[in-house]
Each structure stands twice: as C-alpha cells, then as structure tokens.
Amino acid sequence: MSEAATTEAAAQGELGTVVIGGGLAAAHCIHELREGGYAKPITLISSENEVPYERPPLSKEFLQGSKPALELEPFPGSWYTDADIAMRLGTTAESIDTAAKTVSLSDSSTLGYENLVIATGCRSRLGGRNANMTGWDLPGVYTLRSLEDSKAIKEQLVSGKHLVIIGAGWIGMEVGASARAAGLEVTVLTPDQVPLAVAMGSEFGSHVAQLHVANGVQCHFGTGVTGIAADPGKGLVVQTPTGDIPADLVLLAIGAVPNNELAVAAGLEVGSGVVVDQRLRSSDKSILAIGDIAEAYNTTLGRNMRVEHWDNAIRQGKLAAATILGRDQSYDWLPYFFTDQFDLGMEYVGDRQAEDDVVVRGDMASGEFIIFWLRQGVITAAMNVNIWDVNDHLRSMISKNIPVATLQDTGNDLMAL
Ligand SMILES: Cc1cc2nc3c(=O)[nH]c(=O)nc-3n(C[C@H](O)[C@H](O)[C@H](O)COP(=O)(O)OP(=O)(O)OC[C@H]3O[C@@H](n4cnc5c(N)ncnc54)[C@H](O)[C@@H]3O)c2cc1C
C-alpha cells in the first residue's frame, strides 16, 4: 500500500488500528498488516523510546557485547516511516474507553480506533515468593526487561566484581553465564532445589546446575532471600536465613508479571492475562491482545494459555493481523522456546506438564541429548540440547505414541521416528 494512500486515509479522519506496546508482538502485527495490504492508518504507542527490538539477546549476546543494539531490531527504523506507521514512542497509553473506542495517552492526546491491539508485555516481578524482601529498590539492584536495563547492567559487568542473582529462571541463569564470560564472580540464589525447576523439571534443571557449577557459578539452591541492604563503602549484602552474602551488584530475576492494568480498567475479561479467543479477540471484539499479555485459546491443546516466549510473540503478532485482515486463521501452534548458556544451546517444543514421564535419548553427561516428555505413552513435548536442525521434526513427533525403548535407542534414526 502506498504511503500516499494511507496518509490520505488518515487525513480523511479514517479510523484504523492502534497498537499499544512497542515489543516484538506489536512489530510483527503492524508489519503483517501492511504486508497484507492494510491501507488504513496504523499507530504504534510505546512507552519506550526505541523502535521495537528483540529481547532475548539482552541477557545473552547484547550483554556479552557480541551483538550491537541495531541488530536487535526485527525491522529497521526506516521501515516504519516507509510503511507510514504513526510512531508514538516515549508515550504511554493510560486508559481505554471501550464505548467511545478511544485511547488516552500520557501526552494528553486521545486516539480513536477501529481495531485496538494490546501488546503491553510483561514487567519484572519485584515480590513473588520474596514479597517481604526489603532493599530491592537500592542502587546497584537491577532487573532486566528492556534495552535500557541491559545497558545499565552491561556497564557493571567488570571483571572481578561480584554479581548475586536472586532467582534461577531463564533470565537469571542466562545473565549468570554472560557475567562469568565477562570475568565476574557470580552467585545464584533460589528457594528451589534446582534452577528452572518449574519450567523444566528436575532432570534438565540438575543438568543446568552442573553446567553452571562447572563454570564457576556459586549456586545456593534451597536458599531464599530475606532482604538486600547497603553496606556503606563496600556495596550491598544479600541477606539469607543462612547468612549475608556481599555483592557489588544484584540482579532480581524472579519472574515477570503481565502489564494488564489497562485491560482490567477497561473492563475486559482478564485471567492470567487478557483473555482472548483463538483469533486473539478479547471480550470486546474490536480489541485484540497478543504476545506475553494474552491468555489465548489454543485450538490444538483445547485450552487457554499465556506464553512468555519470543516465538509466540512473533506468531501472535501475525495472527492478530490476519484476524484484522479477515483471514480464517487461529492459534493452533505449540509453544516453542530456546536458551543459550555457556556452551549449552537448546530448543523446546510442546506442552510439558509437571507429572509427565521423562525419557532421555543420548547421554546427558556428553552435553548432547534429547528429552521427551510423555503422558500415558503419548509424546507431549521434546527438547534438543546441543543437537541442531531437529526441532521441526520433534514438533512433528508430538502426539505420537512411540515405545520408550525406541525413543531411547540412539541407533534408531531420529528422523525416521
Ligand atoms: C532479558 C530477556 C531475555 C529473553 N530471552 C528469551 C529467550 O531466550 N527465548 C525466548 O523464547 N524468549 C525470551 N524472552 C521472552 C521474549 O522476549 C518475550 O516473550 C517477548 O519479548 C514478548 O513480546 P511482547 O511484544 O509480547 O512484549 P514485550 O517485548 O515485553 O513488549 C511490550 C512493550 O509494551 C510497552 N508498554 C507496556 N505498557 C504500555 C503502555 N501502557 N503504553 C505503551 N506502551 C506500553 C513496553 O514498554 C514494551 O515496549 C526474553 C525476555 C527477556 C526480557
């Protein structure tokens, strides 16, 4: 669609699509809209000052200095200009009037919409199981969600400093690996017995723990934190029931919470996130929600789910565009995610539940293996660790009923299973 045509539409006061949020889901939604021939005005409202960028490298390559900020952008800044997207960067959406179909912004302006897409993502959790923890707001205590956060942490990644990470989820463990690569002393604290316990279970969690210990990370598992205090002239101390741990900097990595306040105040149905159907439409049919914020109905799994992963943000951004364009598509794919820590790279696909049986193919000690999760003999999820170009095939194996011995036998060609 030509720029002249969309500008003319806006000049005639034609209502179009307003997207709240400047993350990956938002970027892919508006990109797909224009690629699909959407000619009406599109406005992107983002609290951040940057054009949308990818967050996964913020705890990995960007933090380690091997990927510059410009390479994080899925579409260059010039694309938004060329595609005639009205960019309202550094601007926060403060309220939605569903009756008037308007959004009020922090610069006191109001925008009308025909379709509104909420893509407000998540923010770092500050409480959680550490709800009574004091000192999380002291200088030197960081959270990691944005490019700005990653830049601030990167400045402190000076060899010899001591970083204490509270939380042993994906972001905590990834930053731990990046900080060790920069020569810092790293301590990780979690009340769980292994890292990633909730997400991946104890088998893979133990493997990740061994990897970090082997790379010099001090792991204090089964250890909660009661508070963080300033130690004048010395830095910080992290207080635990078993004693104080001195730190030059602290990363609070205890999870994320969805930015769903706008949706709640607007009267939309909100559960673990904004509740949307398989086409990502909320309880108000002119409002869609996508990415980390969306609790969407997955037609393959037959239930609602909210997924905080990169692949989902991209796919749901495109699906919301398809819905607005009137295409008959739905949320039918399985969750996928990846991580990189030290020399471990992995990809996961599927819908593992805590009670599923675990089947390992290969020798975990070698660092190259595949884990399958099975429920009553049926594969529910799979993960390839340091074995590449197999994840699409693993995806095709989900729902199959393959004997455990066949899965485990590395003499069987995986691609033939
Ligand atoms: C450090 C880090 C590492 C990660 N690593 C991985 C990984 O290895 N693998 C993986 O699969 N996933 C990873 N993820 C998760 C992945 O990045 C997210 O799932 C994805 O970014 C979600 O995209 P989103 O567009 O839904 O939300 P976000 O990317 O969070 O974007 C939300 C945007 O909305 C803006 N916003 C919020 N409220 C308002 C408002 N009221 N008005 C205007 N703007 C607003 C925010 O400022 C932000 O720009 C990582 C995330 C982080 C933070």
Higher pLDDT, 150 or 202: 150
- E strand residue ranges, 125-167: 141-142, 162-166
Q: Residues lining ligand 1, CB < 6 A?
A: 20-26, 45-48, 55-56, 58-59, 92-93, 119-122, 144-145, 171, 259, 262, 291-293, 308-311, 313, 337-339
Residue 140's nearest CA partner among 225, 255, 251 is 251
* Structure token pair of residue 322: 């398809």
How many A from CA of 36 to the centre of ligand 1?
24
How many A from CA of 377 to the centre of ligand 1?
35
Among 292, 293, 383, say which to mutate for ligand 1: greatest number of ligand atoms within 8 Å of CB: 292
How many A from CA of 55 to the centre of ligand 1?
6
Side chain identity, residue 225? V
Side chain identity, residue 365? A
Domains defined for the chain, CATH in brackets = 3-121+259-324 (3.50.50.60), 128-255 (3.50.50.60), 343-416 (3.30.390.30)
Among 31, 55, 252, say which to mutate for ligand 1: greatest number of ligand atoms within 8 Å of CB: 55
Mean pLDDT for the stretch of residues 44-51: 97
User: Which pLDDT tens digit goes with each residue over 407-416?
Assistant: 999 999 999 9
For the CA of 340, the closest atom of ligand 1 is: 8
Residue 3 pLDDT = 46
With tokens 């190259």, the residue in question is 368
Backbone angles phi, psi at 7, to 5 degrees: -65, -40
Mean pLDDT for the stretch of residues 188-206: 91
User: Which pLDDT tens digit goes with each residue over 259-316?
Assistant: 999 999 999 999 999 999 999 999 999 999 999 999 999 999 999 999 999 999 999 9
Distance of CA 76 to the CA centre of its chain: 21
